[in-house]
Structure 1
Amino acid sequence: MQKLIIILLFFIPILTFAQNDRTFTNENKIYLPNIKTVLCYNSNKEQSIPVILLNSSETIAFSFDDLLGGTKNYWYTVEHCAADWQSSRISSIDYLQGFDSDRIVNYRYSSNTTRKYTHYDLTLPNTQIQPKIGGNYVLKVYLDGDKNQPVISQRFYILDSQMAVAAEVTNSMQVSDRNSKQKINFTINHSIAIPNPYQDLKAVVMQNFNSNTSIINTRPSFIRPNQLVYNDLNTNDFWGNNEFRKFDTRSLRFKGDNVKDIYRDNESVSVMLFQDAPRSAGAFANQFDENGNYFIRNTDGRDDKTEAEYMGVLFTLNAPAPATNGEAYVVGRFNNFTLSKENKLLYDAGRKQFYANIILKQGLYDYEYAWFNNDTKTVETQPFEGSFFQTENSYQIFVYYRRPGARWETLVGYTNLSNKVSDR
């Protein structure tokens, strides 16, 4: 039975070319099943948080693959958003120099790969489009110049640095959570007058650049001269979770970390990972991870972007369902920690096993298993992964300020904190 399920999963069609959603959202989202491996980061460091300084030489690197191959007429625009990612509803003249849209003209065809695809890339700012104010931005890619044919929406940030953020990771102040949660305390140092910090300033705290974990702070605990302190006992608590699981497919000639078998033919490549076990019980085990990140790599060829293979990766989790009303998913930054049909796990109740076959590009991947509780409408990793305050996580803090009389919120402060919480 198990072999039959595995065979069926390997031959499940991994691309269904249905009509796309006709409406853009201001979240990280792919609207077409043939679009894969959307990357967006500060060009200075691969897979870094996509934050660049306003009026600097820094740029955003953005790319994606089209598994239908050939050449498409992809266009893009950018939109300014508020701290909560709702549209700022201001004219593009207020936040852009140059044009408000342009065509993506840089593309290359894959070579020496079983599955053919086309790789597209873009750099922002560029000679056509330059954001001129700080804030949240959404890059929107659409087909044939028609915004009713959305392809990708991708968030990035322009920092107009006016405030410094000092932060620390500590244990939760709640006694019952001290072994499983981490708390973020931070201070905003500023030299500009803020007439009403309770109304004009917002600070968003996020764990591992996972937007599902975002906490919006609007009320500082203390207001001091040129300082706003956020250390309330009951706020900014995060589950410590566990170190991410990982696998290595940089080479398809040899079995890398956590790879059990590799199957290839003239039409496809399939990778079977070793079966995973739940980690919710037992002691914390420290291991190096990339805090949910992933990196496209191909040591069998010369060009990671166009010579890396696309693979069907089989995940297996040996665990009973945590509840009768819910679904399990494989998540990581490779899918923006979202829950979709592409990364949903099938459940074999008889064997108490979950399975999923996901198409991914060759490289190094962090991942974890999450459970969506249909009764509470919450996403939980604790049933499969456990949660420990010793886990190393990264935290991002974004500070937004709306000047008196201004029509938009500006990103004026940012820090990326990565600490190892010591055992106390």
Structure 2
Amino acid sequence: MKYKILLILLLSCKILTAQNNNQNTVYQPYIKTVQLYNSAQESSFPIIGLHTNDVLLLGFDDLQGGTKNYSYTIVHCDADWNPSNLSPSEYLQSFTEDRILDYRYSFNTKQKYTHYQLTFPNYNIIPKLSGNYLLKVYLEGNAAEPVFTRQFYVVDQRAGLVAGIVPSNQVVNRSTNQKINFSVDVSALPVQNPYAEIKTIIMQNGRSDVSSININPQFVQGGLLQFNDFQTNDFAAGNEFRRFDLRTLLSGGEHIAQIYRDTANTVMLMNDKALDQPNYTFQYDNDGKFFILNYDGRDPKTDADYAHVYFNLKYIPQNPNDAVFITGNFNNYRLDENSKMSYDASRGNFYTDLYLKQGVYDYHYVLKTKNETDQTAIDGSHFETENDYQFLVYFKRIGSRYEELAGYHLLNSTKSLR
């Protein structure tokens, strides 16, 4: 019986880990370079404390230019990003929607655009409950048809957490995986049944597609919940992200092979190859993030230009129907037609081009076969890889209609918990 229960728990973890509730979606092709982060640090995880002075910064470009009537609202969601059974008046302290009035036109760029910016909470939009929130931006007051959505979090920090990273308990994965053991202190919460009321989600580098959901602690000692099962929370560590530096269009930067400046900007990156070698090699990265920067101007929000960036990967798939995608935080790790690469069988080469704003970008390659999506087949996986792990502790009281976010903690694989 003990082995049957363990098997059920392991299978449940795999199913939950495979879910991807990424609703960071852009619905219009003229919307580019959407960023949402805590204003204290650019490109940081989009989380703020409840009833604190924390502020989120939203920015995006409209390549159609001109001035448009953009509005926004926020929707409270559960841990799985389903709308909570709440009315807006229950989770919003003030108004239910607001206009985006801060905009500026691009200056001295080949690609003309209008940059929109917003900080919140503000006088008009103030969340009064902790939890997951979905930001919707839309035109002409039509909230039913958003031009894009973004996920963010509001935490009421009451749950404590201690975590550590060790090599995998599976011998075959000891050199490639990072196993996480952790405990959650919920003594400050009115928990009656921790198995039914507490849920902890772990995300690798802020990615919902590389995450695990923990609902069954192995041990409960008073208000301390311990999660140290033999096989769960065993993450493939991956490899350091590839990156390129496009802070200037006047000369070559890191991983830039050639720049052509005509009626439009064209950037050819150096050729990539598979990194699935057995030994780890350190390479500085930004854990999948991107930063908008421009050495040739004063304000990259409005004077950074766009360019067609060409990627080439030397890789021969085992099956001609296998697909390769290029992903990163810049496209929300989406595997779709926009991130799918074309294959030239005569050269054994995958290629594509993306229209990107000047800056520094992390990226990596993902292999998708008929049976699975493999994040490490091309870029490799090593226990030594530096990763950030975000811990989100949710609390849903018995009979409550929404989930509270009662704890957030950040663990770096090479540093201490913070």
Letter in 1 for 2:376: Q
Matching residue of 1:311 = 307
Alpha-carbon distance, 1:390 to partner: 1.1
Q: Secondary structure at the match of 2:195?
A: helix
* 1:333 partnered with 2:298: no
Q: Distance in 1 between matches of 2:258 and 2:31?
A: 26
Corresponding letter in the other structure for 1:182: Q
Q: Deviation string for 1:169-215 (max 9, x for gaps)?
A: 11111111111111111111122331111111100011011110121
CA distance in 1, matches of 2:217, 2:130: 23
Contact 2:55-2:120 within 8 A present in 1 as well: yes
Pair 322,145 (structure 1): closer, same or farther in 2 beyond 3 Å: farther
Deviation sequence 1:129-165 (CA, Å, 0-9, x none): 1000000000001111112322011000000111111
The correspondence for 1:396, drawn from 381, 390, 393, is 390
1:259 is matched with which residue: 256, 259, 278?
A: 256
1:188–1:229 CA contact under 8 A, matched in 2: yes
Aligned to 2:39: 43
- C-alpha change, 1:368 and 1:26, in structure 2 (3 Å) is closer
Counterpart CA distance in 1 for 2:322 and 2:143 is: 35
Match of 1:65 in 2: 61
Provide the secondary structure at the position in 2 that maps to 1:383: coil
Alignment partner of 2:402 out of 394, 399, 408: 408
The question of whether the paired residues in 2 share the 8 Å contact of 1:198 and 1:220 is answered with yes
Query: How far is 1:26 from its partner?
Result: 7.0
SS of 2:119 mapped into structure 1: strand
Matched, 1:270 2:270: no
Q: What residue is the counterpart of 1:124 in the other structure? A: 120
Equivalent of residue 232 in structure 1, options 229, 233, 236? 229
Confirm or deny: 8 A CA contact 2:105 2:114 kept in the other structure: yes
1:89 positional shift:
2.3
Q: CA deviation at 1:43?
A: 0.6
Q: Is contact 2:22-2:209 (8 Å) kept?
A: no
Separation in 2, partners of 1:209, 1:163 = 20
CA RMSD of aligned residues (A): 1.3
The residue number in structure 2 matching 1:285 is 281
Aligned counterparts of 1:109 and 1:309: Cα–Cα separation in 2: 12
Q: Write the mapping of 1:4-83 to structure 2, written as runs, cut at 5 A.
A: 27-83=23-79
Task: Report the counterpart of residue 201 of structure 1 in structure 2.
Answer: 198
Using the alignment, how far apart are the partners of 1:408 and 1:26 within structure 2? 20
- Confirm whether residue 136 of structure 1 aligns to residue 167 of structure 2: no
Q: Which residue of 2 aligns with 1:295?
A: 291
Separation in 2, partners of 1:397, 1:71: 40
SS in 1 for 2:144: strand
**Corresponding residue of 2:101:** 105
TM-score by length of 1: 0.91
C-alpha separation in 2, matches of 1:26 and 1:261: 34
Unaligned runs of 5+ in 2: 1-20
Give the letter for the 2:123 counterpart.
T
Q: Which amino acid aligns with 1:401?
A: F
CA–CA distance in structure 2, aligned partners of residues 169 and 414 of structure 1: 17
Q: Deviations over 1:21-62 (max 9, x none)?
A: xxxx97100000010111010011111101110000011111
Distance in 1 between the 2:105 and 2:349 partners? 39
1:70 & 1:112 partners in 2: Cα distance?
15
Query: Which residue number corresponds to residue 4 of structure 1?
Result: none
Distance 2:278 2:250 in 1: 35
- 2:233 partner letter: N
Whether 1:382 aligns to 2:376 is yes
User: Is contact 1:26–1:153 with CA below 8 Å preserved after alignment?
Assistant: no
2:143 aligned counterpart, secondary structure? strand
Residue in structure 1 matched with residue 365 of structure 2 by the alignment: 369
- In the TM superposition, residue 381 of structure 1 has moved relative to its aligned partner by 2.4
Distance 2:302 2:366 in 1: 31
> Secondary structure of the residue that 2:411 maps to in structure 1?
strand
- What secondary structure is seen at the aligned counterpart in 1 of 2:103? strand
Give the letter aligned to residue 405 of structure 2: L
Could you tell me how far apart the structure 2 residues matched to 1:362 and 1:294 are? Answer: 10
| TM-score under structure 2 length normalisation | 0.92
Equivalent pair of 1:298/1:362 in contact (CA under 8 Å): yes
Conserved? CA contact 1:322–1:383, under 8 Å = no
Gaps of at least 5 residues in structure 1 are: 1-24
Which residue does 1:351 correspond to in 2?
347
Residue in 2 that maps onto 1:18: none
| Distance (Å, rounded) in 1 between the aligned partners of 2:373 and 2:54 | 35
Q: Which sits farther off after the overlay, 126-135 or 139-148?
A: 139-148
Task: Give me the identity figure in percent.
Answer: 45
Aligned with residue 90 of structure 1, among 70, 86, 103: 86
Relative distance call for 1:240 and 1:322 in structure 2 (3 A) is: farther
Distance 1:136 1:168 in 2: 25
Moved over 6 A (4+): none
Aligned residues: 394
SS in 2 for 1:130: coil
Read off the aligned partner of 1:202 and give its amino acid letter. K
Whether contact under 8 Å (1:26, 1:86) holds in the other structure is no
Range moving further from structure 2, 243-252 or 184-193: 184-193
Structure 1 SS opposite 2:82: coil
CA deviations over 1:319-361 (Å, ceiling 9, x no partner):
1024333311110111111112222111001110000100111
| Per-residue deviation, 1:259 | 0.2
Contact (CA 8 Å) 1:248, 1:257: kept in 2 or not?
yes
Task: Provide the C-alpha distance between the structure 2 equivalents of 1:319 and 1:159, rounded to a whole number of angstroms.
Answer: 43
